[in-house]
Amino acid sequence: MTTRIRNFFLGALALFVVAPVTASAAGIDTNAVGLRGYDPVAYFNEGVPTQGENGHVAIYDDVVYLFSSDANKVAFEADPTAFLPQYGGYCAMGVALGKKIPIDPEAWKIVDGKLYLNVSKQVAKHWSKDIPGNITKADNNWPGIKDVSPADL
């Protein structure tokens, strides 16, 4: 990856602002909410990012997930790994670069039945230019950074 592209990507990260998660109204620790409160099943079943609701909550691997319907919650609980985002919900392009970067739930793509997210739609476009190559890089990087704090990368 060229320095110019890397700088662009890191610049996009600097502009990224995390939106509040609706789970706080239900007394849920918003730091533990996956996908910034978006419904992981909706990406697959509805084909669009959909904000979850406080009334439809499931916890998997110490992460709280919100769902837009009880049917989506039930589907998730039956097979969570079928709906979980890749790389722990971090930006796929960031992981390809060896970083753990927060995501924009609106910047997503399903590839071979797996959900990939990115920090922005612009970064997602760049990631899409070489999906197989970027997935390979991220898959190779993930084991080495999975348990490392984002600040330490």
- In DSSP terms, 57 is beta-bridged to 66
Radius of gyration from C-alpha coordinates of the chain: 15
Tokens standing for residue 113: 């039945």
Count of C-beta atoms within a 10 Å radius of residue 2: 7
Instruction: Give the span between the Cα atoms of 92 and 144, in whole angstroms.
Output: 15
What is the residue-wise DSSP string for 81-123? GGTPBGGGGS-HHHHHTT-----EEEEEEEETTEEEEESSHHH
Q: 54 pLDDT band (50/70/90 cuts)?
A: confident
Q: 79 pLDDT band (50/70/90 cuts)?
A: very high
> Cβ distance 117 to 89 under 8 Å?
yes
Statement: residue 26 has pLDDT above 50 = no
| Confidence (pTM) | 0.81
**Please, what is the average pLDDT of the chain?**
85
